[in-house]
Structure 1
Amino acid sequence: MNLAALALLVSSFMAGSSYPGVAVAITRGDEVVAVQGFGHDSAGAPITGHTKMAIASVSKSFTALAVRQLADAGKIDLDRPVFDSRVTPRQLLAHKSGISDRTLPEKSLTQPNSPAEAVDRAREALRSAEPDGQFRYTNTNYHLAARLVEIASGESFDAYLAKHVFQPLGMTETVAIDVTPRDLPADFRRGYGYAYGISVPLNEPDRFVAGSDGVVTTAADMAKWLAAQPSLAPRDGMGWQQDSQGQLRHSGIWFTATAGQLLTKSGYGIAVMSTSGVTLGNEGTYALENGIADVLDGETPPEPSSYRLPIDLVLAALTLLSIGLCVRALRRPRRFPRAWQVLRFVPLGVLLALPTLLGLLYGGGRDITFFQLAHYSLPLVVWLGVSSVMNISVAVVRWRR
Structure 2
Amino acid sequence: MRKIAATAGLAGVLLLATGTAAVDAATRAATTGGRTGPTAESVDRYVRDYIRRTDLPGAVVTVVKGDKVVYAAGHGHTAGGEAITADTPMPLASLSKSFTALAVLRLADEGRIDLDAPVGRYLPEFTMADPRAEKITVRQLLQQTSGMSDRTFPELTLPAPDDLKDAVAMLRTAPLAAAPGTRMIYHNPNYAVAARLAEVVSGTPFAEFMAATVFTPLGMTSTRTVDTTEELPGAGAGYIRAYGQVIERAHPKWFVNGSYGVVSTAHDLARWLITQNGHGGALPRELVRATQTPSGVGGSTYGMGWSAERTAGGAPMLRHTGWLLTHNSAQTLLPGGEWGIAVVTNTGMISGDDALIISDGLVDMIEGRPDANAAPFTTSADPWLAGLSLLNLGLGLTGVLRSRRWAARRAQRRTWRMIARLVPYALPVAFYLGLAELAGVLLNRVGTLDQLTYVWLALYVWAATGALAAVAVVAARLVHAVRLRRRAVGNVPVSETRRSASTA
Q: Which TM-score band (shorter chain)?
A: over 0.9
Q: Which moved more, 1:49-58 or 1:196-205?
A: 196-205
Contact residue 251 and residue 284 of structure 1 kept, 8 A: no
TM-superposed CA distance for 1:198, in Å, is 1.6
TM-superposed CA distance for 1:31, in Å, is 2.1
TM-superposed CA distance for 1:250, in Å, is 0.8
Distance 1:151 1:115 in 2: 10
Structure 2 residue matching 1:107: 3-state secondary structure: helix
TM-superposed CA distance for 1:189, in Å, is 7.1
Which residue of structure 1 aligns with residue 396 of structure 2? 326
Which residue of structure 2 aligns with residue 303 of structure 1? 373
The amino acid that maps onto 2:167 is A
Structure 2 residue matching 1:42: 3-state secondary structure: coil
* Counterpart selection for 1:235 from 286, 292, 297: 292
The amino acid that maps onto 1:235 is Q
Which residue of structure 2 aligns with residue 273 of structure 1? 344
The amino acid that maps onto 1:380 is L
Q: Which moved more, 1:154-163 or 1:2-11?
A: 2-11
Which residue of structure 1 aligns with residue 146 of structure 2? 97
Q: Which structure 1 segments of 5+ residues have no match?
A: none
Structure 1 residue matching 2:64: 3-state secondary structure: strand
The amino acid that maps onto 1:256 is T
* Counterpart selection for 2:443 from 363, 370, 393: 363
CA displacement 1:111-154 (0-9 Å, x = unmatched): 22111111111124367752143111111111111111111111
TM-superposed CA distance for 1:306, in Å, is 2.9
Structure 2 residue matching 1:32: 3-state secondary structure: strand
TM-score by length of 1: 0.93
TM-superposed CA distance for 1:393, in Å, is 1.6
TM-superposed CA distance for 1:72, in Å, is 0.5
Structure 1 residue matching 2:119: 3-state secondary structure: coil
Which residue of structure 1 aligns with residue 32 of structure 2? none
TM-superposed CA distance for 1:297, in Å, is 4.3
Distance 1:246 1:100, change over 3 A: farther
TM-superposed CA distance for 1:185, in Å, is 4.3
Which residue of structure 1 aligns with residue 197 of structure 2? 148
The amino acid that maps onto 1:317 is G
Distance 1:396 1:298 in 2: 60
TM-superposed CA distance for 1:382, in Å, is 2.1
CA displacement 1:333-363 (0-9 Å, x = unmatched): 3257432311212222111111111111x20
TM-superposed CA distance for 1:38, in Å, is 2.1
Which residue of structure 2 aligns with residue 340 of structure 1? 421
Say whether residues 1:9 and 2:89 are aligned partners: no
- The within-5 A match list for 1:1-400 is 1-83=38-120, 85-125=134-174, 130-180=179-229, 182-185=230-233, 190-229=237-276, 230=278, 231=285, 232-233=288-289, 234-236=291-293, 237-244=303-310, 245-264=315-334, 265-280=336-351, 282-333=352-403, 334=406, 335=409, 337-360=418-441, 362-364=442-444, 366-400=445-479
TM-superposed CA distance for 1:240, in Å, is 1.1
Distance 2:64 2:161 in 1: 37
TM-superposed CA distance for 1:383, in Å, is 2.2
Contact residue 179 and residue 209 of structure 1 kept, 8 A: yes
Distance 1:46 1:185 in 2: 13
Q: Which runs of 4+ in 1 moved over 4 A?
A: 126-129
Distance 1:367 1:254, change over 3 A: same
User: Across the two proteins, how many residue pairs are aligned to each other?
Assistant: 396
Contact residue 56 and residue 253 of structure 1 kept, 8 A: yes
TM-superposed CA distance for 1:212, in Å, is 0.7
TM-superposed CA distance for 1:298, in Å, is 4.2
Distance 1:23 1:373 in 2: 26
Higher relative contact order (CA 8 A, sep 6+): 1
Contact residue 236 and residue 326 of structure 2 kept, 8 A: no
Distance 1:126 1:338, change over 3 A: closer
Distance 1:126 1:73, change over 3 A: farther
Distance 1:58 1:68 in 2: 16
Distance 1:159 1:176 in 2: 9
Distance 1:227 1:105 in 2: 36
Which residue of structure 1 aligns with residue 413 of structure 2? none
CA displacement 1:14-56 (0-9 Å, x = unmatched): 3444421121111111222211222222233332101111110
The amino acid that maps onto 2:70 is V
The amino acid that maps onto 1:145 is A
Contact residue 323 and residue 348 of structure 2 kept, 8 A: yes
Distance 1:397 1:126 in 2: 46
Distance 1:128 1:21, change over 3 A: closer
Distance 1:110 1:305 in 2: 34
The amino acid that maps onto 1:53 is M
TM-superposed CA distance for 1:295, in Å, is 1.9
TM-score by length of 2: 0.74
